[in-house]
């Protein structure tokens, strides 16, 4: 089984790119974030017509929104209303074999890394705390679970273009990294991508639109992740980050991240 997570930054602008993704990498399950469309307007018929027939989505107007397209059957799994905001940042399903798949879009957190000065940063930290508590109390480490998504945090020094220069930049501050690590250690999640691509290697999944030449300056961050619980660790077969997708015409600022399972 090949699984992809991708922050598409508007699903309605990404029909061709999704078709190319399937043509070139043939994923069985596609998890998307930032679909930016209300449920009623989700472009179901125009999206990979005839393919990946098992689909679920949760979207709102303009912002946020998550979706899963799959060749394998999906059963719904209920989740909480994170931070009581009803803002469409989580979609959970059960795959055949009793595997739970959790697709997240963690709040970006605004520009100022200060809980008091910036409510968006407070929301991000609270969201991470709620995730940690919920997985600890409602979900157990011995379950087969996959957690994917745009977690909006680059935890390792090699997950950013400059560790020193990003220490005060939201996405790589010590408090965010500490909370993400706490979430990870809570259930003993394995970072499936770093399982194959050594932590000493630089690795990014996002490059800002604001760079004059994203490829030449290469000021990226690894914000998109795929984690698995211990019972699935032995099933991991490979991982890659599809950097070339950032060079496609009118791209998302994120690229797909892929993990293969036995």
Partner DNA sequence: ATGGTGGCTTTGCCA
Which residues are tagged catalytic? 105, 150, 254
Q: Determine if 218 is a binding residue for DNA (CB under 7 A).
A: no
- The position carrying tokens 């809980």 is 115
Task: Report the nearest approach of DNA to the CB of residue 107 (Å).
Answer: 5
User: Residue 36, interface with DNA (CB under 7 A)?
Assistant: yes
Alpha-carbon distance 11 to 24, whole Å?
Answer: 19
Q: Which of 20, 61, 85, 237 binds DNA (CB under 7 A)?
A: 61
Tell me: does residue 209 bind DNA (CB under 7 A): yes
Contact 60, 106 (CB under 8 A): no
CB of 57 to DNA, least distance (A): 14
Contacts of 244 (CB under 8 A, 6+ apart): 255
What span, in angstroms and rounded, lies between the C-alpha atoms of 166 and 180?
16
Return the beta strands (E) in 79-197 as ranges.
90-95, 99-105, 145-150, 190-191
Pairing state between β 145-150 and 220-221? unpaired
Binding mask 110-139 for DNA (x = CB under 7 A): x---------x-------------------
Return the range that interacts with DNA (CB under 7 A); candidates 51-59, 104-112, 175-183, 238-246. Answer: 104-112
Please choose, out of 22-30, 66-74, 101-109, 191-199, the segment that lies near DNA by the rule CB under 7 A: 101-109
Decide: is 13 part of the binding site for DNA (CB under 7 A): yes
Q: What angle do CA 207, 213, 218 make, to 5 degrees?
A: 45
Q: Per CB under 7 A, does 250 bind DNA?
A: yes
Q: State the Cα–Cα distance between residues 150 and 169, nearest whole angstrom.
A: 17
Q: Where do contacts with DNA occur on this chain (CB under 7 A)?
A: 9-10, 12-13, 36-37, 61-63, 107-110, 120, 152, 209-210, 250
């Amino acid at each position: 089984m090949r699984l992809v997570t991708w922050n598409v930054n508007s699903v309605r602008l990404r029909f061709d790119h999704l078709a190319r993704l399937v043509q070139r990498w043939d994923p069985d399950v596609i998890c998307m974030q930032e679909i930016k469309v209300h449920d009623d307007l989700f472009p179901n018929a125009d999206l990979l017509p005839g393919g990946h027939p098992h689909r679920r989505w949760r979207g709102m107007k303009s912002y946020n929104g998550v979706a899963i397209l799959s060749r394998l059957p999906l059963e719904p799994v209920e989740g909480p209303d994170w931070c009581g905001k009803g803002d469409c940042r989580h979609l959970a399903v059960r795959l055949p074999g009793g595997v739970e798949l959790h697709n997240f879009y963690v709040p970006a957190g605004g520009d100022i890394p200060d809980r008091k000065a910036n409510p968006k940063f407070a929301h991000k930290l609270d969201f991470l705390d709620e995730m940690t508590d919920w997985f600890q109390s409602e979900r157990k480490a011995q379950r087969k679970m996959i957690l994917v998504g745009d977690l909006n945090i680059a935890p390792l020094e090699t997950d950013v273009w400059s560790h020193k220069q990003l220490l005060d930049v939201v996405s790589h501050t010590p408090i965010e990294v500490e909370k993400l690590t706490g979430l990870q250690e809570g259930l003993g999640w394995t970072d499936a991508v770093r399982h194959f691509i050594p932590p000493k290697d630089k690795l990014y999944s996002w490059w800002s639109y604001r760079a004059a030449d994203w490829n030449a300056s290469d000021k990226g961050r690894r914000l998109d992740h795929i984690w698995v619980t211990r019972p699935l660790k032995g099933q991991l077969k490979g991982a890659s980050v599809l950097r070339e997708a950032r060079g496609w015409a009118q791209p998302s600022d994120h690229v797909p991240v892929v993990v293969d399972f036995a």
